[in-house]
A and B are shown apart, each in its own frame.
Chain A
Amino acid sequence: MKLNGVQIDETFAEAFNMRGTRVLITAQNLKWAYNAANAMTGFATSVIGCGVEAGIERELAESETPDGRPGVSILMFAMGSAVLMKQLETRMGQCILTCPTAAAFSGLDSEDQISLGKNLRYFGDGNQISKLLPDAQGNNKRYWRIPVMDGEFLTQETTGMVRAIGGGNFLVLGQSQPQVLAACEAAIEAMKKLPNVIMPFPGGVVRSGSKVGSKYPKMFASTNDAFCPTLKGTVKSELSDDIESVMEIVIDGLTFEDIALSMKVGIEAACALGPDNGIKRISAGNYGGKLGPHLFKLHDILNGNLSSEAEKA
């Protein structure tokens, strides 16, 4: 299969079950909403070393936020609910509570609720104030007002937690490092417009794809040598002579369809640059289909079959 002259490998991305949550961060203006959200989603590229994978989903207009201020929504994913709860509380306490004018609200309605400001309220040392207020649908939501030096820190008590998927991905293979990076940037720009997904790595792009295992017993994962261009002659390489650089875009999302659509949009944007701009191939990372329950087949996705039925077939 080729897309705009770019070869699409007949392969798949292999993804895992995760737990996800969404938090709405508001502030006096977008600058400070971003300051809070960037801190909250910092050092959250991979669950392997960070506990969670998190990113900014999109900007929110004043009309979209509970307190009528500008904001951003963030998505956060972890391998289990306990880790997600712990990381959310820690990051709320260190990144949102501390950020001038920032407030935090639930961005997901779900049966499972996890603490957002529930325990942070004790920072108020007895001066915290609870408010149980109905939302537009008449459902009561509990908020906490915690006195802080800039005024009040306002936060909802809980946010929703849902089953989600992490590890959707595709690889961009090209003639040079700048060309591959440009294609990835184009892909990320297009993917950032979609809801319910984040690309948690720096700028949305990861250059250090890994394989399972290592020659060193203490290492669980090591560099994906089959896709390392400088090792072409010494390992069982996946790369042809004309490939000098490979970069990966990893996607976490709330549903299979969200990730599949994001991959489609991203691959199409990367391939739009075409072979003339050095983009040669699109591939994907997997473990042979044995570890992750979700398989995102590149050809199916690019043919418009975005449902998880494709995965079952």
Chain B
Amino acid sequence: MSALTFTLKAANNRNIDCKKLIPDYLQGKSIDAISSIVLGNQTVADVFDVQGDDATTLIFKNTTPQLHYIGYRMKTGSITIEGNVGDFTGAEMQGGVLICKGNTGERAGDTMRRGILLIEGNTGDYCASNMRAGTLGLLGSTGAYLGYGMKRGTLLLSQNPAEQATWLDCGLHTLPFLNLLYQSFQTLDTKFAQFSNRRVRRWMGDVSGLGKAEILVLQA
């Protein structure tokens, strides 16, 4: 079986709501049924070339920042985005693995509950806003208001974010737990699979609310 692949048709330049394109919704559906799924006022066939037959593993190709809500509320399986995408990537995720090899727009991982969201590029503002739990890894830069209202969960960053008054510095640590986290990355096709550094600076926040979330910034 090959991954179910959605390749964006070049002609498209409208915003597209991809909420329905998650493994949980697509499993058991034929290519024809998937092609006729309505995304806003267009069908999948209007927007994407669809190939493959394994709906537990989705790939988005030729992507643009007009694609929003990829991985929204996904519970199982995996999604790989091979480019830049728009807002709310991985929003309200409840499980599974979502990998973005490019940049995301605003509010990536918003209100995420479970699962792993790995972004190899940069993110826009309000990344991980209101996040409940789960793990969000980020190789690139972050926008403003990182982890705004974040309650629990882990942000793993390779670059220092801008300091915020509602995130408290808990110092430098070497965490054995990160071995476990990195092992869960090892079968994934992502740069995160190369991670081995367990030395991090730990921040806790967002203390304007519950304040049980953490930002781990990898140290050189």
Q: How far is the CA of A127 from the CA of B114 in the complex (A)?
A: 18
1/0 contact string of B171-198 vs chain A (CB within 8 Å): 0011111011101101100000000000
Which of A112-120, A130-138, A270-278 is found at the contact surface with chain B? Answer: A130-138
Known: A129-B214, A131-B135. A67 touches B179 (CB 8 A): yes
Q: How far is the CA of A198 from the CA of B17 in the complex (A)?
A: 58
Are the CB atoms of A130 and B133 closer together than 8 Å? Answer: yes
- B154, CB-defined interface residue at 8 Å: yes
Q: How far is the CA of A79 from the CA of B176 in the complex (A)?
A: 35
Min Cβ gap A238→B in Å is 53
Are the CB atoms of A131 and B212 closer together than 8 Å? Answer: no
| Cβ contacts under 8 Å, A134 to chain B | 97, 116, 184
- B95, CB-defined interface residue at 8 Å: yes
Are the CB atoms of A152 and B176 closer together than 8 Å? Answer: yes
- B152, CB-defined interface residue at 8 Å: yes
Which A residue's beta carbon lies closest to that of B188? A134
Are the CB atoms of A154 and B176 closer together than 8 Å? Answer: yes
Q: How far is the CA of A143 from the CA of B181 in the complex (A)?
A: 10
| Cβ contacts under 8 Å, A145 to chain B | 177
| Cβ contacts under 8 Å, B179 to chain A | 66-69
Min Cβ gap B67→A in Å is 26
- Of B114, B175, B187, which is within 8 A of A132 by CB? B114
> Most B CB atoms within 10 A — which of A69, A135, A138?
A138
| Cβ contacts under 8 Å, A127 to chain B | 212
> Most A CB atoms within 10 A — which of B95, B176, B181, B184?
B176
- A140, CB-defined interface residue at 8 Å: yes
Are the CB atoms of B176 and A69 closer together than 8 Å? Answer: yes
Q: How far is the CA of A127 from the CA of B210 in the complex (A)?
A: 11
Are the CB atoms of B175 and A151 closer together than 8 Å? Answer: yes
Which A residue's beta carbon lies closest to that of B78? A138
Which A residue's beta carbon lies closest to that of B97? A134
Which B residue's beta carbon lies closest to that of A65? B179
Min Cβ gap A168→B in Å is 35
Are the CB atoms of B177 and A143 closer together than 8 Å? Answer: yes
Which A residue's beta carbon lies closest to that of B175? A152
Are the CB atoms of B135 and A67 closer together than 8 Å? Answer: no
1/0 contact string of A16-49 vs chain B (CB within 8 Å): 0000000000100000000000000000000000
Q: How far is the CA of A145 from the CA of B135 in the complex (A)?
A: 14
| Cβ contacts under 8 Å, A135 to chain B | 184
Interface hits, A57-74 → B, CB 8 Å: 66-69
Q: How far is the CA of A111 from the CA of B201 in the complex (A)?
A: 39
Are the CB atoms of B95 and A154 closer together than 8 Å? Answer: no
Min Cβ gap B1→A in Å is 15
Min Cβ gap A9→B in Å is 50
Q: How far is the CA of A122 from the CA of B134 in the complex (A)?
A: 20
- A103, CB-defined interface residue at 8 Å: yes
Known: A152-B175, A152-B176, A154-B177. A131 touches B183 (CB 8 A): no
Min Cβ gap B61→A in Å is 24
Are the CB atoms of A133 and B176 closer together than 8 Å? Answer: no
| Cβ contacts under 8 Å, B186 to chain A | 136
| Cβ contacts under 8 Å, A138 to chain B | 187
Are the CB atoms of B181 and A103 closer together than 8 Å? Answer: no
| Cβ contacts under 8 Å, B187 to chain A | 136, 138
- Of A126, A129, A130, A154, which is within 8 A of B180 by CB? A154
Min Cβ gap B205→A in Å is 13
Q: How far is the CA of A138 from the CA of B187 in the complex (A)?
A: 9
Are the CB atoms of B214 and A67 closer together than 8 Å? Answer: no
Are the CB atoms of B176 and A143 closer together than 8 Å? Answer: no
Q: How far is the CA of A126 from the CA of B114 in the complex (A)?
A: 19
| Cβ contacts under 8 Å, A152 to chain B | 173, 175-177
| Cβ contacts under 8 Å, B173 to chain A | 151-152
Are the CB atoms of A133 and B175 closer together than 8 Å? Answer: no
| Cβ contacts under 8 Å, B181 to chain A | 131, 133
| Cβ contacts under 8 Å, A67 to chain B | 176-177, 179-180, 183
Which B residue's beta carbon lies closest to that of A136? B187
| Cβ contacts under 8 Å, A140 to chain B | 95
Q: How far is the CA of A135 from the CA of B184 in the complex (A)?
A: 6
A66-B179, A66-B183, A140-B95 given. 9 additional CB < 8 A pairs? A66-B180, A67-B183, A129-B212, A131-B154, A131-B181, A132-B114, A135-B184, A136-B183, A136-B187
Q: Name 7 interchain pairs, CB-CB below 8 A, sorted by A.
A: A67-B177, A67-B179, A134-B116, A138-B187, A151-B176, A152-B177, A154-B177
Which residues of B are interface residues toward A (Cβ below 8 A)?
95, 97, 114, 116, 133-135, 152, 154, 173-177, 179-181, 183-184, 186-187, 212, 214
Interface pairs A-B: 5 shortest CB-CB? A68-B179, A133-B184, A67-B179, A154-B177, A67-B180
Which residues of A are interface residues toward B (Cβ below 8 A)?
26, 66-69, 101, 103, 126-127, 129-136, 138, 140, 143, 145, 151-152, 154
